[in-house]
Amino acid sequence: MIQSSDEDAEALHLRHNAWDTELGCYMSAAEKQCTRRRNDMIEFSPMVNTVLHRKRIYQWALRKKKGHRVNVGSLKRAAKVWKVDNPLDLSTQELESRLHGLEVELNVLRHNSKQLRWQHLLDCLRRARDDGDEDDVHEIKRIMKRESDKEKQKRINFAVRPPQGRSVTQVQLNDPKTTPTSEADFRTEEEDIIKECNARLSQRFSLGKRAAISHGKLLEDLGNLGDTAAARRILEGTYEFPENADPATVLLLKELARMALEMEGENDDGWLTVPEFQDYWKKAKERTSSSYSGRHFGHYKAASKDDFLSALHTGNINLATHRGRPLDRWRKGVTVLLEKEPGNCFIDKLRAILLLEGDLNQFLKEVFA
């Protein structure tokens, strides 16, 4: 752990948080510059492709009208290829009107995109047969079979998948299995839901305080963080347990000492490395919900592809963890309530999930899990 005086530690903490906030601004700004690709929202076909390119050309010209820097030569060449007449001669209102028309056309095509896609593949197959290109015929058939199987599997999955829970819009305070419907006590207003859930979750998340290690002599010796000399003696196997200590707790701590002895000599200094950062985020699912601050998994997956950005994020995590004070944004999380049983909103049957910051979650998994 990084050692420093209280005054220096506080100054470092403030500077680190200021730097981390600036890093978050850069991450958000970079995301705004990213190209957002639509995956499986509309099937590809020549007609759809034409509309999308013309829409892009009009958007390009509109940016020019609004004073943004654009490559006029590339814009004119694209307009010629996709048969858009003089987009730069149109007024801002005319460009916006044509963009709206293309959006309407895209919405119509979206409903017919699967048929257009299939017709496109059939046309490609016919041309390949006419040309006598057996390799192309084989490849097009493979594509058609793959897409047909994929569509069929989607319908099967939709039909046989189990019902899923949803986010909570109301909570019931009494058990529906033992309470008549006429006596059901619901909370539907947001403030009432939050109040009741806070009370119940506080009790649920405090159950660990009933454990034997959370009171008595063990708590005095170990403390809440387990960073005392007694904790070190437990790992070394030299700690004398109190006579009235819970037998199960004693066995658990002795097993912990045995595991520490087996792992002795391994790299357990708690430093996160760049390869660990990259391996973790390359395997993570981008759509996973996280981060009250808005720094979602996509930011870290993108950073994991670059060695410099990976080192930047790794250093940020290590600085926070080894100076002994977490970042301010790590202190905030989002508690999500989901229905365990679809349709059952009984407050004691709701699944509570705490969404932590993505980088903090990685550190906890890498070091402690």
- DSSP calls for 219-283: HHHHTTT--SHHHHHHHHT-----TTS-HHHHHHHHHHHHHHHHTTTS--S----HHHHHHHHHH
pLDDT value at position 183?
A: 86
Distance in angstroms (rounded) separating the CA atoms of residues 288 and 297: 7
Contact 285, 297 (CB under 8 A): yes
pLDDT value at position 37?
A: 55
pLDDT value at position 76?
A: 93
Contact 184, 172 (CB under 8 A): yes
Contact 290, 296 (CB under 8 A): yes
pLDDT value at position 182?
A: 84
Please list the ranges in the chain whose pLDDT falls under 70.
Answer: 1-7, 35-41, 162-167, 265-269, 369
pLDDT digits (tens, 9 = 90+) for 312-336: 999 999 999 888 789 999 999 888 8
Q: Give the largest Cα separation in the chain, rounded.
A: 91
pLDDT value at position 4?
A: 53
pLDDT value at position 36?
A: 59
pLDDT value at position 137?
A: 94
